[in-house]
Structure 1
Amino acid sequence: MFRTALRNVLAHKARLLMTVLAVMLGVAFVSGTLVFTNTISDAYQKSSAKGFDQVDVAIRPDGGHETRRDKIAEEPQLTQALLDKAAKVQGAGSTVGVVNGFTAIADKHGKLIGGGYQSQGGNYWKTADARYPLVSGHAPTGADQILIDSKTAERAGYKVGDTVRLSIDGPVLTPKVTGIFTTDDGNVAAGGSLVLFDTATAQRLFHKPGAYDEIDVKAASGTSQIALRNALDQILPKNTASTTTGKQLADDQAKEIADATSSMRTALLVFAGIALFVGTFIIANTFTMLVAQRTKELALLRAVGASRRQVTRSVLIEAFVVGAVAAVTGLVAGIGIGAGLRSLVGSLGGTVPDGPLVITPGTVVAALAVGILITMLAAWLPGRRAAKIPPVAAMSSVHAKATTKSLVVRNTIGALFAAAGIATVVYATTLNASDGQGPMGLGAVLLIIGVFVLTPLLSRPLIAAAAPVMRVFGIAGKLARQNSVRNPRRTAATASALMIGLTLITGLTVMAGSLQTAIDKMASSAIKADYVVSMANRNELSPDVEKTLRTTDGVTAISPLRNAPARVEGDTEYVTGVNGAAIGKLTDLKVDDGAFKVGGSQVVVDDETAKNHHWTAGSRFTAAYEDGRKQQLTVTGVYQSTEMMRGIMLDNATLSPHLRHPADMQVMVKMSGGATASAKSALQKALGDNPAILVQDKKDISNSIAQIFTLMLNMLYGLLAMAVIVAVLGVINTLAMSVFERSQEIGMLRAIGLDRKGIKRMVRLESLVISLFGGVLGIGLGVFFGWAAGELLGTKMSTYELVLPWGRMAVFLLLAGVVGVLAALWPARRAARLNMLAAIKSE
């Protein structure tokens, strides 16, 4: 039986090629994803471990902004006195005070280096710092001197002696590069930048005069990290600071990197799973047809003594050989994909730490297991079904017809699954976004399974609806329609592969279009300002930015938004300081109660906050600011909150005197001529063409918010293309074997007068009908899932509403038709070239 199985594999090379390709693509996707994420994770972890070579124990502030009954507590600080005490602890070697914060540095073309969030600054410790070995130059000794890391210097073309433009919180600084250093910092390795100042300058720029963010202690020779940590714990002020070993810091950072790459890996593997899921239909379809075509052969084996188990086993052996070949090929291709993805990241501007391509035993085992098990699982049912056919019935071809009972059972099961899926999805839409995700996913799986099971039943009426169009193509069209419904299960399996891909693509498109509309409304509904100015990494702006813009020509109204914590009725609320005289001209907030009036002790609050505290217009409450002082405030109006504007608003003249370091989250600006290119240019020029500061109009705000969704959507389209490619292979595979199965029939059609063009047209129309059937089902399900997911998102985004992208859906349906036509090219050509006499004599 083993030799028989191998002979059958070798005897059907062409028919099994598509199955091998389908499995190979899925395995390549899985193994490529694992290779890529393992490589990135390993490189980052090794880099992060090197970054803590100079740290045996780190002292860090404990807590911050803890609320008291009457004030907001100051954030604990690590002082110079604490550093001096730590340096004298027994077992301590060298001790370093660390200061860090956001520092945006521009290249020679004025563009931001490091992408904003990875642009960091810090302090160089005294005249020599073991953490940052100098490659050239000398340590900074004043406010106008800096060091930059070697990778940033290389990317931007800077050298010692160059003057650079950088920003901490808004205003442009132009220090000189006095030295270049090397570092194993993970952020730099990932493409970020690191700028170092002398300690006093760093403390002043990062608003930490005389204080440190961290104190790093290197153990003396013979002292362990644990022993040094225990000694340092004895000198720490209570509830002010805590210690962590260097090993724990490295482990924590490595874990964060692993978690981050794990999320990416999970997302990629989901789509690899989709490609495999689609491929499973093709594999099952292929083996079902192969087994059906070899029914007499299998019956003969049964007649000469083979048992049912042996017949089933022979089919599974075939599947094992096919799966093993596809898995090995897919693994090799996946290694290439992993290396290609790493190079792609570099070509898109990203950088990953240097390191070898990581191919773990787990990746190899996963690739082989997925390829072989998926193939054998898909082949098991056809093999089992073939083994159950009695030899006499198989020899006389009295088989394969589904009984009425089996059809009723199948349709009943499908209807139950579909109904359960719809009910679960609809129920999920009534929950909030976090609670509804699980039921939504379960409902989607149940509904897709139900529709797949019901697809043979659905194929007849839907394909019959195409009859009027098919008549236009004459006898070829009529035959194509009849062939499409002749074997509903085969048609269903082929159409379902395409259906799943289009379901996901359509659902994502519906969500993306609806989200874009919601974001556009969110950006424009509450803002009358022409421009919003903010930091590129959303950090706080210096108050100097607002002062500079206020004196710019063309500015008619301006207001900073200054957030600060306050203690209100036993709770901590974040209040927003605004320009009370101008805020009404810059916002368009609907007032439910009272009037929108801000100034002195008069404030406005959003409806949610008012509801939580039972406030109405005229209500009074006491606020305790972070300096401990209290003030009684009066609510003059209650406005409807939006995603952009919410909370308690009071005048900056009232709030700012109570703040230790006033800073703005953003500045709203209205120009005399509205939002124009020249107005935007004037604002940017007034700010020194600072790469760290964004000057955005409403459209820019909308695009910046939508950018992440657009990026994700494009990435998902690319991933789902894999599933569609597998589906195309399925259509080709089905048609090719269908042509082989109907060779005698095609020969008879040729004999009675249907020419080669008619045969080609018949096969192409059959493929077109099947593909459009799968397209209609996929688009319908995609719209349903898009609506349901939107209802879930609507609980967090009040401006969300369903927008159906009719144009794109029409394109998707057209593409489904194109897939059908292209998939039929080779099978149609093969059918037309059949020798009619040889085909008529075939069995």
Structure 2
Amino acid sequence: MMLSLSRQNVRRNRALFAGSFVALGLGVALIALSTMLIWSVEEFTATVDPADEELLLALDDTMAMLGVVAGFSGFMAIFIVASTFGFAVTARQRELGLLRLIGATPRQVKRLVRGESLVVAAAAAVAGCVLGWLLTPVALWAMNRRGLAPGQIPLAAPWWPMVIAAGVGVSVAFVGAWIAARRAARIPAIQAMREASAERSRIGIGRALTGLLCLVGAVVMLVGIRAGNAELALALSIFVPQLLVIGLVCVGPLLMPLLVRLLTLGLRGNVLVALARENVLAMPRRTTSLAAPILAISGIAGTVILSLSFAADWDNGVTRQQLQAPVVVTGGDERTGEQLAARDDVGVADTGLLVPMGIGADGLESGDTAEGIDPEAAAAGRGTRAHRGDLSALTGKSMAVSRSFAWDAGVSLGDVVPVTFGDDARLELTVVAVVDDANTLQESVLVPRRLAEEHGGQGTGTWFVDPASGVTPAAMVSDLSRDLPDAEVLASEQWVADRDEETRANNVLSMVVVLGPSGVYAAIAIANTLLMGSLQRRHEFIATRLVGATEQQVRRLVVLEAGLVAGVALLLGSLITVGVAVLLRAPMTDGLHDVPLTIPWGSLLSIGVSCVVIAVVAAVAPARAILRGASPAQAAAG
């Protein structure tokens, strides 16, 4: 009975539920797309010959990238869908209050809202799964064309990914509507009618505790990160902003009014600004829901962009500080190494051997690689040094690991670690040193060069050359460029600059891949939420015209309100971005003397400008249509 009533209510009020349908449908499509891409790559990987290590390594990198994409997409979809469904129910306080007034019990109100959310969620889940399935072949083609995926990865059977996406979407929508409906059902009929015109900024104990736990947990993780672990800092830059966004949205009804007053400080003399301010302050829950998508994308995307830039700064600083050799040779073949070793004007020609090697009892997986080095040559050429232990003890059955790898893998100095090489040989190696991280110069796991040779190690193709006494670096570059035509010979400063440029270019591509789908979805969600908010204020707009306001004044009022909402959200997003990035940069750069500071202002500003423009246009467009299609006299009838 109640489900039938819910279905009829949705059918009669299609426009009211359209925003929720769009948010959930696109959210399900985003989750389905990410899940199907991972599913397709995983099934394709299972068909690859284990001997094709290069392809398996490329597929492993693709899976890692898609895992991050899925994480971002899943969070944005779940967060926005829950927020949108909660907003849709909150915006119907008057209708729900009237139901209570005519005798509906709290249980009936909750059942009605749950039924409506189930009807909308079922239709949106089907549409979203179909859209995700249609987009997956396009995404696979684009990934292959841009070099992000090896070979032609076929589309796998989509049934399980669709079930996962639909299940997540329906569950989130149901939970979001259920929480809002429970709050509305607890309100007495008369009080519900009063709350239809204004909201209190008070929040429940559960919401307050959730927000507090998220905020405190994020701060503890940021403050507690130990110095020197740059990879952990980068990982936290992905996870911590999500906690902060959830925490701030939970306490939003308390925080938003304070920030609105701050932004309008000194502007209350303007009548429209004062009216926009009061309208926003009167509805703190609605303001929080409208600001949520902007806060999410600005805080998370901004933090990732700034953290990636700081990570590139860290890598550049580490490389310049640690690299000892003034000349770097890349390319060439095995003869290049022999020629360098035979030259009298070369003092040290440091290079390594890459060997497939898995750590632990699970054996070798695709992408597991160690580097065989000569400790003395590596120290002279690359500045490889032990943070703890003795690198000169890297002989026989031993290994050294970077500081970040030691933390991630739970490996300590003196541990005996089982390893598996690419030729299936299994050994136990003793950790004799923990070295400083230097991703551009060396692998995270180092073994004796002789051990790498015994198990099929291949040259890295890079030699760090220190000229013999009396030979200048400039003369060495000139001579080697002439004598090694098949290799590229560069001064170390130029080589470091080239690697830095390559790292930043890869970061840009990574940001497009990781943030692109979530960014597009967030943009649509921002427009969708603001559009919903304006459409539900039809009578308010017409009533404002009735009391003497011109159409242009009403539009300006809407612009100011949308600007205030976007401004508050961007302010909080900026605080997240700056706070997380600053707290992460300190441990990343600990112990480095000269680290550049690069801030991608263009990318950061483009996020803010895009959010403001989308919010204003989405809020003004329906208001303009409403005002043009109705006369002030209609307000009395409304």
* Superposition TM-score, scaled by structure 1 size: 0.58
Which residue matches 1:418? 215
Per-residue CA distance 1:639-677 (angstroms, 9 max, x = gap)? x9894889xxxxxxxx99xx999989614267969499x
Q: CA shift at 1:830, angstroms?
A: 2.9
Q: Does 1:698 align with 2:499?
A: no
Q: Distance in 1 between matches of 2:212 and 2:273?
A: 31
2: CA distance between counterparts of 1:837 and 1:446?
46
Shift of 1:766: 0.9
Structure 2 residue 77 is matched with structure 1 residue 276: yes
Do the aligned partners of residues 527 and 332 (structure 1) sit closer, same or farther apart at CA in structure 2, a change above 3 Å counting?
same
Q: Does structure 1 residue 319 correspond to structure 2 residue 117?
A: yes
Partners of 1:365 and 1:662 lie apart in 2 by 44
Give RMSD over aligned pairs. 4.6
For the structure 1 residues 369 and 420, does the alpha-carbon distance in structure 2 shift closer, same or farther, using more than 3 Å as the test?
A: closer
C-alpha change, 1:496 and 1:686, in structure 2 (3 Å) is same
**1:40-439 correspondence to structure 2 within 5 Å:** 40-48=41-49, 186=52, 190=55, 263-299=64-100, 303=103, 306-349=104-147, 352=150, 356-391=154-189, 393-394=191-192, 397=194, 406=203, 414-415=211-212, 417-429=214-226
Taking a change above 3 Å as real, the CA distance of residues 641 and 410 of structure 1, as seen in their structure-2 partners, is closer
In the alignment, what sits opposite 1:448?
245
Q: Secondary structure at the match of 1:824?
A: helix
Counterparts of 1:662 and 1:455 in 2: how far apart (Å)?
56
Counterparts in 2 of 1:543 and 1:699: CA distance versus 1, 3 Å: closer
Give matches, 1:18-29, under 5 Å: 18-29=19-30
Q: What's the TM-score, normalizing by structure 2? A: 0.74
Shift of 1:273: 1.1
Q: Are the equivalent residues in 2 in contact too, given 1:523–1:698 (CA < 8 A)?
A: no
Shift of 1:339: 0.5
In 2, the alpha carbon distance for the partners of 1:425 and 1:842 equals 56
Structure 2 residue identity aligned to 1:513:
S
Structure 1 counterpart of 2:316: 520
| Alignment CA distance shift 1:557-1:736 (3 Å) | same
Corresponding residue number in structure 2 for 1:244: none
- % of aligned pairs identical? 20
Name the CA shift for 1:36/1:562 in 2 (closer, same or farther; >3 Å): closer
Paired residue type of 2:173: T
Does the 8 Å CA contact 1:24/1:329 hold for their aligned counterparts?
yes
Equivalent in the alignment of 2:615: 820
2:486 to 681, 689, 702: 689
2-structure distance, mates of 1:317, 1:839: 33
Larger Cα-atom Rg: 1
Equivalent residues of 1:23, 1:327 under 8 A apart:
yes
**Aligned partner of residue 251 in structure 2, secondary structure:** helix
Q: Name the structure 2 match of 1:505.
A: 301
The answer to whether the 8 Å contact 2:6/2:119 transfers is: no
1:43–1:353 CA contact under 8 A, matched in 2: no
CA distance, structure 2, for counterparts of residue 443 and residue 357 of structure 1: 33
- 1:46 partner amino acid: T
Indicate the residue corresponding to 2:420 in structure 1. none
In the aligned structure 1, how far is the partner of 2:458 from the partner of 2:8?
A: 81
1:20 deviation in Å? Answer: 1.9
Contact conserved, 1:790 with 1:802, CA < 8 A, in 2? no
Inter-CA distance 383–820: structure 2 relative to 1 (3 Å threshold): same
2:630 is equivalent to residue 841 of structure 1: no
1:215-260 CA distances to partner (integer Å, 9 max, x unpaired)? xxxxxxxxxxxxxxxxxxxxxxxxxxxxxxxxxxxxxx8xx89876
How far did 1:414 drift?
3.9
Unaligned runs of 5+ in 1: 52-184, 191-252, 565-572, 590-604, 614-620, 627-639, 647-654
1:625 deviates by 9.3
Shift of 1:308: 3.1
Between the aligned partners of 2:232 and 2:325, the Cα distance in structure 1 is 37
CA distance, structure 2, for counterparts of residue 645 and residue 422 of structure 1: 33
Q: Aligned partners of 1:662, 1:269: CA distance in 2, in Å?
A: 34
Closer, same or farther: CA 379–546 of 1 in aligned 2, 3 Å: same
CA distance change for structure 1 residues 825 and 390 in 2, over 3 Å: closer, same or farther? closer
1:368: Cα distance to partner?
1.7
Amino acid at match of 2:484: L
| CA spacing shift, 1:557–1:448, aligned 2, 3 Å | same
Q: Is the 8 A contact 1:760 1:828 kept in 2?
A: yes
- Does structure 1 retain, via aligned residues, the 8 Å contact 2:348–2:466? yes
More displaced stretch, 495-504 vs 348-357: 348-357
**Residue 477 of structure 1 aligns with which residue?**
273
Distance 1:259 1:529 in 2: 33
Q: Aligned pair in 2 of structure 1 residues 399, 465: CA closer, same or farther (>3 Å)?
A: closer
Q: Which has a greater percent of strand? A: 1
1:389 is paired with a residue whose SS is: coil
User: In structure 1, the residue corresponding to 2:218 is in which secondary structure?
Assistant: helix
SS of structure 2 residue aligned to 1:339: helix
Partner of 2:540: 745
Match of 2:350 among 541, 561, 565: 561
Structure 1 SS opposite 2:465: strand
Deviates more, 1:490-499 or 1:474-483: 474-483
Taking the aligned partners of 2:395 and 2:541, their CA distance within structure 1 comes to 88
SS at match of 2:92: helix
Q: Aligned partners of 1:712, 1:325: CA distance in 2, in Å?
A: 38
Q: Secondary structure at the match of 1:818?
A: helix
> Could you tell me whether the CA contact under 8 Å between 1:43 and 1:354 is conserved in 2?
no
Match of 1:465 among 240, 257, 262: 262
In structure 2, stretches of 5+ residues that fail to align are 354-371, 398-434, 443-448
Contact persistence 2:299–2:574 (CA under 8 A): yes
